Amino acid sequence: MHLTHGIAISDILLLAPGPTPHTFDAVLARLLPDGRLPDEHQVTLYWELYGVRLDEAPRVSVAVSRVRTSFGRRLAERLRLREEPQTIEVQWATDAPAAAHAAGSVTLDLRDRPSGTWRVSVTVTDAAGRAATATRDLVIENR
Protein backbone atom coordinates (compact mmCIF):
# COMPACT_ATOMS: atom_id res chain seq x y z
CA MET A 1 0.00 0.00 0.00
CA HIS A 2 1.26 3.46 -0.87
CA LEU A 3 0.29 6.02 1.80
CA THR A 4 0.57 9.69 0.89
CA HIS A 5 -0.78 12.44 3.17
CA GLY A 6 -3.77 10.55 4.48
CA ILE A 7 -4.94 8.71 1.36
CA ALA A 8 -3.54 5.41 0.19
CA ILE A 9 -3.72 3.20 -2.88
CA SER A 10 -3.05 -0.53 -2.95
CA ASP A 11 -0.74 -2.26 -5.38
CA ILE A 12 -2.21 -2.57 -8.87
CA LEU A 13 -3.50 -6.03 -9.75
CA LEU A 14 -3.52 -7.08 -13.41
CA LEU A 15 -6.63 -8.99 -14.44
CA ALA A 16 -7.81 -10.70 -17.60
CA PRO A 17 -10.37 -8.43 -19.28
CA GLY A 18 -13.99 -8.78 -18.26
CA PRO A 19 -16.77 -7.08 -16.32
CA THR A 20 -15.96 -4.91 -13.31
CA PRO A 21 -15.15 -7.24 -10.41
CA HIS A 22 -17.29 -6.62 -7.32
CA THR A 23 -15.82 -9.27 -5.01
CA PHE A 24 -12.29 -10.31 -4.18
CA ASP A 25 -13.08 -13.84 -5.43
CA ALA A 26 -13.94 -12.32 -8.83
CA VAL A 27 -10.59 -10.50 -8.79
CA LEU A 28 -8.65 -13.67 -7.95
CA ALA A 29 -10.39 -15.66 -10.70
CA ARG A 30 -9.01 -13.26 -13.35
CA LEU A 31 -5.60 -12.48 -11.82
CA LEU A 32 -2.56 -12.33 -14.15
CA PRO A 33 0.17 -12.90 -11.54
CA ASP A 34 3.20 -12.85 -13.86
CA GLY A 35 2.32 -9.56 -15.54
CA ARG A 36 2.15 -11.06 -19.06
CA LEU A 37 -0.86 -9.95 -21.05
CA PRO A 38 -3.16 -12.39 -22.81
CA ASP A 39 -2.95 -12.62 -26.61
CA GLU A 40 -5.60 -9.94 -27.16
CA HIS A 41 -3.37 -7.42 -25.29
CA GLN A 42 -6.17 -6.16 -23.10
CA VAL A 43 -5.83 -5.91 -19.35
CA THR A 44 -7.97 -4.72 -16.47
CA LEU A 45 -6.16 -2.72 -13.79
CA TYR A 46 -7.68 -3.13 -10.32
CA TRP A 47 -6.78 -1.15 -7.17
CA GLU A 48 -8.20 -0.24 -3.80
CA LEU A 49 -8.23 3.25 -2.34
CA TYR A 50 -8.26 4.20 1.36
CA GLY A 51 -8.77 7.42 3.29
CA VAL A 52 -10.98 9.23 0.77
CA ARG A 53 -13.72 11.38 2.28
CA LEU A 54 -17.22 10.09 1.60
CA ASP A 55 -18.44 13.45 0.28
CA GLU A 56 -15.83 13.89 -2.46
CA ALA A 57 -15.21 12.37 -5.86
CA PRO A 58 -11.50 11.68 -6.42
CA ARG A 59 -9.79 12.13 -9.80
CA VAL A 60 -8.00 9.16 -11.34
CA SER A 61 -5.10 9.30 -13.78
CA VAL A 62 -3.68 6.22 -15.53
CA ALA A 63 -0.44 6.37 -17.52
CA VAL A 64 1.24 3.67 -19.62
CA SER A 65 4.88 4.16 -20.65
CA ARG A 66 7.52 1.88 -22.12
CA VAL A 67 10.30 0.63 -19.85
CA ARG A 68 12.18 -1.86 -22.05
CA THR A 69 12.09 -3.24 -25.56
CA SER A 70 14.31 -5.38 -27.77
CA PHE A 71 17.60 -4.19 -29.24
CA GLY A 72 16.19 -4.56 -32.77
CA ARG A 73 13.22 -2.34 -31.96
CA ARG A 74 15.44 0.34 -30.36
CA LEU A 75 17.75 0.28 -33.41
CA ALA A 76 14.82 0.64 -35.83
CA GLU A 77 13.55 3.61 -33.80
CA ARG A 78 17.00 5.27 -33.82
CA LEU A 79 17.22 4.82 -37.58
CA ARG A 80 13.68 6.23 -37.85
CA LEU A 81 12.41 3.04 -39.45
CA ARG A 82 9.85 2.69 -36.64
CA GLU A 83 8.13 5.33 -34.55
CA GLU A 84 8.92 5.45 -30.86
CA PRO A 85 5.68 4.76 -28.95
CA GLN A 86 4.35 7.62 -26.88
CA THR A 87 3.18 7.49 -23.28
CA ILE A 88 -0.57 7.12 -22.94
CA GLU A 89 -2.39 9.01 -20.18
CA VAL A 90 -6.09 9.18 -19.36
CA GLN A 91 -7.84 11.05 -16.55
CA TRP A 92 -11.38 11.09 -15.20
CA ALA A 93 -13.41 12.06 -12.15
CA THR A 94 -15.00 9.20 -10.26
CA ASP A 95 -18.27 9.00 -8.39
CA ALA A 96 -18.02 9.69 -4.67
CA PRO A 97 -17.09 6.47 -2.86
CA ALA A 98 -19.72 4.64 -0.81
CA ALA A 99 -17.21 3.91 1.96
CA ALA A 100 -13.94 5.23 3.35
CA HIS A 101 -12.22 2.65 1.17
CA ALA A 102 -13.20 1.89 -2.39
CA ALA A 103 -12.04 -0.14 -5.37
CA GLY A 104 -11.37 1.09 -8.86
CA SER A 105 -10.71 -0.59 -12.16
CA VAL A 106 -10.22 0.24 -15.81
CA THR A 107 -9.66 -1.99 -18.84
CA LEU A 108 -6.91 -0.96 -21.25
CA ASP A 109 -6.59 -2.03 -24.88
CA LEU A 110 -2.86 -2.12 -25.64
CA ARG A 111 -2.97 -3.77 -29.07
CA ASP A 112 -1.22 -0.78 -30.64
CA ARG A 113 1.75 -1.01 -28.24
CA PRO A 114 4.84 -2.91 -29.44
CA SER A 115 6.38 -5.83 -27.55
CA GLY A 116 8.32 -4.98 -24.43
CA THR A 117 7.97 -4.13 -20.77
CA TRP A 118 5.55 -1.33 -19.97
CA ARG A 119 4.88 0.52 -16.71
CA VAL A 120 1.35 1.44 -15.70
CA SER A 121 0.76 3.97 -12.97
CA VAL A 122 -2.49 4.88 -11.28
CA THR A 123 -2.67 8.20 -9.43
CA VAL A 124 -5.71 9.14 -7.37
CA THR A 125 -6.11 12.75 -6.22
CA ASP A 126 -8.73 13.92 -3.74
CA ALA A 127 -10.48 17.31 -3.67
CA ALA A 128 -7.81 18.71 -1.32
CA GLY A 129 -5.07 17.85 -3.84
CA ARG A 130 -3.67 14.92 -1.83
CA ALA A 131 -2.48 12.20 -4.21
CA ALA A 132 -1.41 8.57 -3.98
CA THR A 133 0.27 6.65 -6.81
CA ALA A 134 0.90 2.96 -7.46
CA THR A 135 2.91 1.49 -10.35
CA ARG A 136 3.17 -1.96 -11.91
CA ASP A 137 5.11 -3.38 -14.83
CA LEU A 138 3.49 -5.57 -17.46
CA VAL A 139 4.85 -7.45 -20.47
CA ILE A 140 3.46 -7.35 -24.00
CA GLU A 141 4.62 -10.13 -26.34
CA ASN A 142 3.48 -9.79 -29.94
CA ARG A 143 3.28 -13.18 -31.59
Q: Give per-residue pLDDT as tens, 37-75.
A: 878 889 999 999 888 777 778 899 999 988 866 666 666
Cα–Cα distance measured from residue 106 to residue 40, given in angstroms and rounded to the nearest whole number = 16
Model pTM score: 0.81
Q: Give per-residue pLDDT as tens, 113-123.
A: 888 888 999 99
- What's residue 90's pLDDT? 87
- What's residue 74's pLDDT? 61
Answer whether 67's CB lies under 8 Å from 116's CB: yes
Answer whether 119's CB lies under 8 Å from 136's CB: yes
Residues whose CB falls within 8 Å of the CB of residue 82, separated by 6 or more in sequence, listed in order: 73, 76, 114
Cα–Cα distance measured from residue 90 to residue 125, given in angstroms and rounded to the nearest whole number = 14
Q: Give per-residue pLDDT as tens, 86-136.
A: 778 889 887 766 565 688 889 999 988 888 888 999 999 988 888 999 999
